[in-house]
């Protein structure tokens, strides 16, 4: 069986509007998290820190020439990353519209970024806004499908914070099974009053900039981002620049609690171990782990314990959530892009805001930029309802 390779990618996040800008920010330890703009329609405006993309929805529309009725900020961010990904992979219009090109996306918020609009539409007696068909997660990928005429299997996955890792996995499996020749895979989420209040009601939002894996961490910061990757079969890419190989993936369920992980991290342990098994690698082969590392009390300790179980002596690791916050449905895809950057440039980026290790595990993330040999990178994404996914990217 031909290997599944990555031939293109695109990203927009609070630390840059392209893959190159993101890499530069990661190298230079740029943090994209700050207090939410005053004009955000929430009482948390100007209060809680958040990793925002500082381009207005109107400007995104203008830049992307995207004026379709009902198009949401979530769809626009997705479009931005999608265009960069297909351009970087040099996919032709004929390839995109071909029956064997799949589009697998992920979003947890979809059009609910328009929280107040949804409230109005849900309760309106007559009329209704232009967004009536835009609230679900599927709306984002249906928009992209229509705009580009993507011809193959289309899907949207929502497993909370692991959604886009699972979208990548599903795309790879479609190719492996022969149902697609190439897959455009990724995820997107943007700031919503809805999710902000949801996470706040669970008491896991930090009022300070987040500190992944630090003993004094106080919770997560939400962020907005979109990322897409192009997956193809290696045999079809003789003329192409191969960025990395997707060598392993796995999903497992922690089956412990709706919104927190089990003490010993059974779910994370299983997803990491099974991904290694699929990749035909052992724990010592992994050069670097892009950890889920949300900076919540529960996640970071449990993920540390699970890493100790899998690796015994864990390799270099860090969480890029200290740069871009927790981007929920986009997290798995954007962190996949960052993992591939680790491989392409043989370098690792520093975790920010870390000072003291968690006493029970003592693990210390990478704290300075360094050039180092990076052969295989594992990227973790764990979501509500115990949904745990791990991906492994390898040097081509």
Partner 1 sequence: MMFIHDTVCISPQQSYLQETLFSGSNEIKSPVKNILYAIEPSYEMIPPGILRRMGRAVRLGIGAALPLTKKEGKPFDGIIIGTSMGGMEDCVKFLNQIIEYNEGTLTPTNFVQSTPNAIAGQLGLMTKNNHYNITHVHRGFSFENALLDVDMLLNDDKNRTYLVGAADEISSYNYNIERLAGGYKTEPLTGNNLFNSLSPGTIAGEGAAMFIINGDAPKAKAAIKAVHIFQTENEEELRKQIQHFMQAHIPQSASCLLLSGENADSRYQHYYHCCESLMGTSSSIARFKHLSGEYPTASSFAVWLAAEILDRQQLPAFCVKKQVNNAIESVLVYNNYKGIQHSLVLLQKA
> What is the pattern of x (binds partner 1, CB under 8 A) and - over residues 193-212?
xx--xx-xxx----------
The answer to whether residues 194 and 42 touch, using CB atoms and an 8 Å cutoff, is: no
Q: What does the block give as tokens for 260? A: 């927190």
How far out from the chain centre does Cα 49 lie? 19
Binding of partner 1 by 173 (CB under 8 A): yes
Binding of partner 1 by 29 (CB under 8 A): no
Residues 6+ apart with CB under 8 A from 52: 14, 32, 34, 36, 37, 191, 223, 224
Residue 33: what are its φ and ψ, rounded to 5°? -100, 130
Selected range binding partner 1 among 89-97, 146-154, 210-218, 369-377, rule: CB under 8 A: 146-154
List 253's β-bridge partners, or say none.
387
Selected range binding partner 1 among 245-253, 288-296, 340-348, 354-362, rule: CB under 8 A: 245-253
Binding of partner 1 by 46 (CB under 8 A): no
Binding of partner 1 by 247 (CB under 8 A): no
The answer to whether residues 246 and 74 touch, using CB atoms and an 8 Å cutoff, is: no
SS (H, E, C) 162-189: CHHHHHHHHHHHHHHCCCCCEEEEEEEE
Binding of partner 1 by 121 (CB under 8 A): yes
- C-beta neighbour count of 151 within 10 angstroms: 18
Binding of partner 1 by 43 (CB under 8 A): yes
Selected range binding partner 1 among 120-128, 220-228, 285-293, 373-381, rule: CB under 8 A: 120-128
For 93, 331, 332, the CA distances from 168, given in Å and listed in that order, are 22, 12, 8
In our burial notation (b when 16+ CB lie closer than 10 A, e otherwise), range 1-16 reads eebbbbbbbbbbbbbb
- If binding means CB under 8 A, how many residues of this protein chain bind partner 1? 65
* Nearest distance, CB of residue 333 and partner 1, angstroms: 16
Selected range binding partner 1 among 12-20, 110-118, 218-226, 240-248, rule: CB under 8 A: 110-118
Among 77, 78, 85, 112, binds partner 1 (CB under 8 A): 112
Residues that bind partner 1 (CB under 8 A): 42-44, 108, 112, 115, 118-119, 121-124, 126-128, 132-133, 135-139, 141-142, 145-146, 153-160, 166, 170, 173-174, 176-177, 179, 193-194, 197-198, 200-202, 251-259, 266-267, 270, 383-387
């Amino acid at each position: 069986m031909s290997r599944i390779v990555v031939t293109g990618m695109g990203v927009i996040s609070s630390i840059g509007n392209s893959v190159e800008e993101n890499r530069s920010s990661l190298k230079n330890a740029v943090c994209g998290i700050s207090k939410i703009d005053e004009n955000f329609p929430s009482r948390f405006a100007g209060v809680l820190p958040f990793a925002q993309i500082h381009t207005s929805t109107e400007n995104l529309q203008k830049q992307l020439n995207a004026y379709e009725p009902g198009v949401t900020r979530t769809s626009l961010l997705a479009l931005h990353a999608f265009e960069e990904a297909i351009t970087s992979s040099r996919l032709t219009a004929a390839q995109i519209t071909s029956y064997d090109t799949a589009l697998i996306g992920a979003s947890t918020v979809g059009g609910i970024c328009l929280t107040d609009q949804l409230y109005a539409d849900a309760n309106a007696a007559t009329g209704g806004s232009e967004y009536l068909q835009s609230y679900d997660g599927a709306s984002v990928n249906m928009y992209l499908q229509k705009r580009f005429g993507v011809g193959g299997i289309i899907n949207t996955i929502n497993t909370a914070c692991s959604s886009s890792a699972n979208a990548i996995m599903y795309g790879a499996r479609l190719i492996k099974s022969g149902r697609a020749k190439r897959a455009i895979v990724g995820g997107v989420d943007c700031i919503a009053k809805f999710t902000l209040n949801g996470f706040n009601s669970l008491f896991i939002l930090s009022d300070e900039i987040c500190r992944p894996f630090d003993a004094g961490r106080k919770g997560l910061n939400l962020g907005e981002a979109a990322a897409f990757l192009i997956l193809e079969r290696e045999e079809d890419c003789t003329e192409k620049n191969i960025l990395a190989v997707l060598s392993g993936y796995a999903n497992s369920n922690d089956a412990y609690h709706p919104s927190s992980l089990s003490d010993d991290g059974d779910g994370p342990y299983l997803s990491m171990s099974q991904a290694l098994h699929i990749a035909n690698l052992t724990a010592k082969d992994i050069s670097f782990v892009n950890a889920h590392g949300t900076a919540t009390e529960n996640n970071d300790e449990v993920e540390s314990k699970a890493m100790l179980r899998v690796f015994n002596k864990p390799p270099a690791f860090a969480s890029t959530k200290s740069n871009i916050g927790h981007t929920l449905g986009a997290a798995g895809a954007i962190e996949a892009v960052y993992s591939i950057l680790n491989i392409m440039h043989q370098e690792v980026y520093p975790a920010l805001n870390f000072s003291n290790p968690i006493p029970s595990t003592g693990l210390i993330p990478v704290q300075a930029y360094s050039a180092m040999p990076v052969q295989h990178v594992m990227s973790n994404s764990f979501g509500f309802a115990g949904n745990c996914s791990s991906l492994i990217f390898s040097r081509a």
